[in-house]
Amino acid sequence: MDLSFPIGRAKLPDGPLTTAERTALIQQLVDLPTQLTATVQEVGDEGLQRPYRPGGWTGRQVIHHLADSHMNCYFRYRLALTEDNPTVRPYDEQAWAELPDVAATPITISLTLLEALHTRWVTLLQHLTDAQWQRTFYHPATKRTFTLDQALAMYAWHGQHHLAHLKLLLPTG
């Protein structure tokens, strides 16, 4: 198993998603906070201090990263829905993972934040029209334009990707 990508790399759709595909991906966003909380409880405080792979982030860093990353994506959606192909601002994920609040903030804060954020984000997603799903943003770090359909696929994968990292910290993981 590739410990960096335990569920494989993200696969983005080439064209518009179907309603059924969107519904399934949105459900992954709905389920993620509960799945994370359950996994974190199984891993325990001591397990969250360990990296999920040599040279990887600790479980604590993964949880805080998910909150940071998913907040950024939510804002990218809002920009794409209100501006024409906005250029979004990348950020240094590694540097953010090493900021002092990551060590000092209880992970329950980021888990609560993810639950509230996903509730708000999912509400937005459930009200988009087919045309709105095709709106775009440009990401300068990847030099790529993403549709909101593609961003949905990416972030549904992203949540499962890091959930799999946390599961590697389980005593049987």
User: Which CATH number characterizes residue 54's domain?
Assistant: 1.20.120.450
In a domain, 1, yes or no: no
Confidence of residue 52 (pLDDT cuts 50, 70, 90): very high
The mean pLDDT of 121-137, rounded to a whole number, is 98
Domains identified in the chain, total number: 1
In a domain, 172, yes or no: no
Residue 152, C-beta contacts closer than 8 angstroms, at least 6 positions apart: 17, 22, 25, 26, 125, 133
In a domain, 96, yes or no: yes
In a domain, 7, yes or no: no
Confidence of residue 172 (pLDDT cuts 50, 70, 90): confident
- Kindly state the tokens that stand for 173: 């993981």
Is a pLDDT exceeding 60 seen at residue 124? yes
Instruction: Name the pairing type of β-strands 136-139 and 144-147.
Output: antiparallel
Fill in the amino acid letter for 82.
T
The mean pLDDT of 27-52, rounded to a whole number, is 97
Is a pLDDT exceeding 70 seen at residue 173? no
The mean pLDDT of 13-23, rounded to a whole number, is 97
Q: What is each CA distance from 73 to 2, 44, 66, 101, 137, in whole angstroms?
A: 26, 28, 10, 20, 11
In a domain, 114, yes or no: yes
In a domain, 4, yes or no: no
In a domain, 61, yes or no: yes
In a domain, 42, yes or no: yes
What CA–CA distance (Å, rounded) separates 160 from 168? 12
Q: What is the pTM of this model?
A: 0.96
The SS3 call for residue 51 is strand
Residue 25, C-beta contacts closer than 8 angstroms, at least 6 positions apart: 17, 152, 153, 156
> Domain containing 139: what range?
19-167
